[in-house]
Amino acid sequence: MKKYDVCIVGSGAGASGVAYTLALGGKKVIMLERGGFYKEEDFSKDEIAYCKRDIVTPSLRESYHTIEYLSANRWVKKTTYSDESSFFNGNIVGGSSNFMSGYFHRLKPVDFKLKSTYGAIKGANIVDWVIDYDELEPYYEKVERLVGVSGKVTPYKYHEPRSTKEFPYPPLHEHPITKLIDKSCKKLNIIAYKTPRAILSKSKDKRNSCYYSNYCGSYGCSSGAKGSARASLLQPALKTGNLTIITHAFVKKLDEKDAKVTGAIYVDTQTKKEHRIQADLFVVAGQAVETCRLLLNSKSKNFPNGLANNSNQVGKNLLFSAGGVGTGQFDASTMSLKELMVEGLFVNRSLCDWYEIEDKNIKMKGGIIDFLFEHNNPISKASKQKWEDGKLLWGEEFQTKLLKKFTTTKQLNFEVFNDWLPTDNCFVSVDEKYRDIYGVPVANIRIGSHPHDIKVGKILAKKAKSVMQEMGAKDIQTSISSYPPANLQAGGCRFGDDPKNSVLDKNCQAHEVANLFITDGSFMPTGGSVTYTWTIYANSFRVADAILKQKKS
């Protein structure tokens, strides 16, 4: 049996920086990915395939999760196949990074020192990070260059320090509505921040620039412009000859002996046969929920509660992203139809003035607001038009409404992002009663949020609504929810200096298992008020450097 230097479980943002760095460093790396290997030519804009079917995630009849939610003051459990919800986010090479919208915001220095800056909050398990912003900044810059980030640095009060003046790629072409956003923000004395995106505005290596299809979120990129782990890092790493990727490999267990991982047991999901991979070092990056599940199911004599879990911290302090959404309708009364109905171009505007909230004698951590158009999915857009005042429309009446929707109006959305505070009631566990088709206990996700999350989200939504009103939007709606977005997962294996209340050390190496690292968002003790992808990418490069340094010594 061949033995590798490093075995990586998963192939997304948290895995790719490690694979890229180690492969270029001459290490023999094997990567185990549950899904298939899609390339640019394999992606399409098929709404039914990517948004209505399980084409890139496991069938919920075969692999699912259980969810615990609070109802009438008691915890109720349901399966995700019962309501066809899913907490899987893209099981293909490159993981969920293939399907992201590519909004790239860095964490700010305050995010690393949340507890020492604002103090404890009752019911929330807030701790400071064991690294600071300055330690991660060089890796943020590395992601900008290698993954490819387009944008224009826009100064504002809470902007993070940068080692470079600008992003490596110029801003993407912008929709005319950005002029209205900029004008309205200026009148309200708000800075309209130009949102950086992990989408190429110019070609890079063998990746083409964006062709403005308006299908980013939920879809793979057929030009290679989007900075997925597959396009930006794994395909170049494969050229070294040092990286091997095994697809359709579901890792069900990590074997352990003498506090070291000795092998990864995986099932070939096509043949249903089991295989074992040996390596000197193991890196797990399967996204937070599935990473915790793997460790909890990898029980042994030394770790009866799950691998690296004698502290009982694996699965604890799971994070999502707090906040919600808002919508506003625009038509010829706000700007010319010729400009409004332009397709494909990006909005790329954010509001970051309230990353820290300091008005009306209030001082607390805030968040950001991203503007974007309603998703271009035609089936989804059309379906929303079939009801009016409780009446089901059909025939000419329905046809008229559809024509108006698709030719004379646009819906501008905003998304609010603020901290999901870690609590005792948000965690991953496993329940022996619920197993997938391979006989492995599925992840149970208890979803308990902190009321402070809603409080901050509502403040931010009110700020965003004021901008929409100034722009002249009609029928403005807002929704701040305690139910999480399934695609934004972190926590569960937080890093820290004390093995009693953390799973990993500052370099994301397990306290209790010498040759185990975890490099997806699981390491994060708090999530900040931005999407996690950029930070996960940056940290994976940081950990990869630590692994190389450790191997040399």
* pLDDT tens digits for range 194-210: 999 999 999 999 899 99
3-state secondary structure (DSSP) of residue 185:
helix
Query: What residues have CB less than 8 Å from 490, skipping those under 6 apart?
Result: 288, 318, 319, 320, 521, 522, 524, 527, 532, 536
Q: Which residue type occupies 256?
A: E
CA-CA distance, 68 to 106, in Å (whole number)?
Answer: 31
Structure tokens at 317: 């302090």
Q: Which residue type occupies 173?
A: H
Residue 123's CB: how many other CB atoms inside 10 A?
13
Structure tokens at 230: 């597959």
* Half-sphere exposure in the Cβ direction for 33 (13 Å, CA): 30
φ and ψ at residue 158, rounded to 5 degrees: -105, 15
The pLDDT value given to residue 258: 97
Looking up tokens 């490069």, which residue turns up?
Answer: 541
CA 117 to each of CA 114, 159, 168: distance values in angstroms, whole numbers, following the listed order: 5, 17, 32
Residues of the chain with pLDDT under 50: none
Nearest to 254 by CA among 291, 289, 295: 295
Q: How many residues are given for the chain?
A: 553
Residue 518's CB: how many other CB atoms inside 10 A?
32
The answer for 224, left when phi > 0, alpha when psi is -120 to 50, beta otherwise, is left
The pLDDT value given to residue 507: 98
Looking up tokens 């701790």, which residue turns up?
Answer: 127
Is 308:494 a contact under the CB 8 Å cutoff? Answer: no
CA-CA distance, 285 to 347, in Å (whole number)?
Answer: 32
The pLDDT value given to residue 49: 87
CA-CA distance, 131 to 546, in Å (whole number)?
Answer: 13
The pLDDT value given to residue 359: 76
The pLDDT value given to residue 505: 98
The third-level CATH classification (topology) of the domain covering 171-195+322-419+450-483 is Cholesterol Oxidase; domain 2 (3.30.410)
* Domain range summary for the chain, segments of one domain joined by +: 171-195+322-419+450-483
271, burial (CB in 10 Å: exposed 0-12, middle 13-18, buried 19+): exposed
The pLDDT value given to residue 553: 73
Alpha helices in 61-132 (DSSP H): 114-118
What is the per-residue DSSP string for 387-429? EETTEE--HHHHHHHHHHHHHH-EEEEEEEEE-----TTSEEE
The pLDDT value given to residue 363: 86
Looking up tokens 């332009």, which residue turns up?
Answer: 342
CA-CA distance, 428 to 67, in Å (whole number)?
Answer: 10
Is 238:30 a contact under the CB 8 Å cutoff? Answer: no
The answer to whether the pTM exceeds 0.75 is yes
Starting from the edge strand earliest in sequence, which strands make up the sheet with 427-435, in order?
Answer: 74-79, 66-71, 441-446, 427-435
CA-CA distance, 201 to 209, in Å (whole number)?
Answer: 5
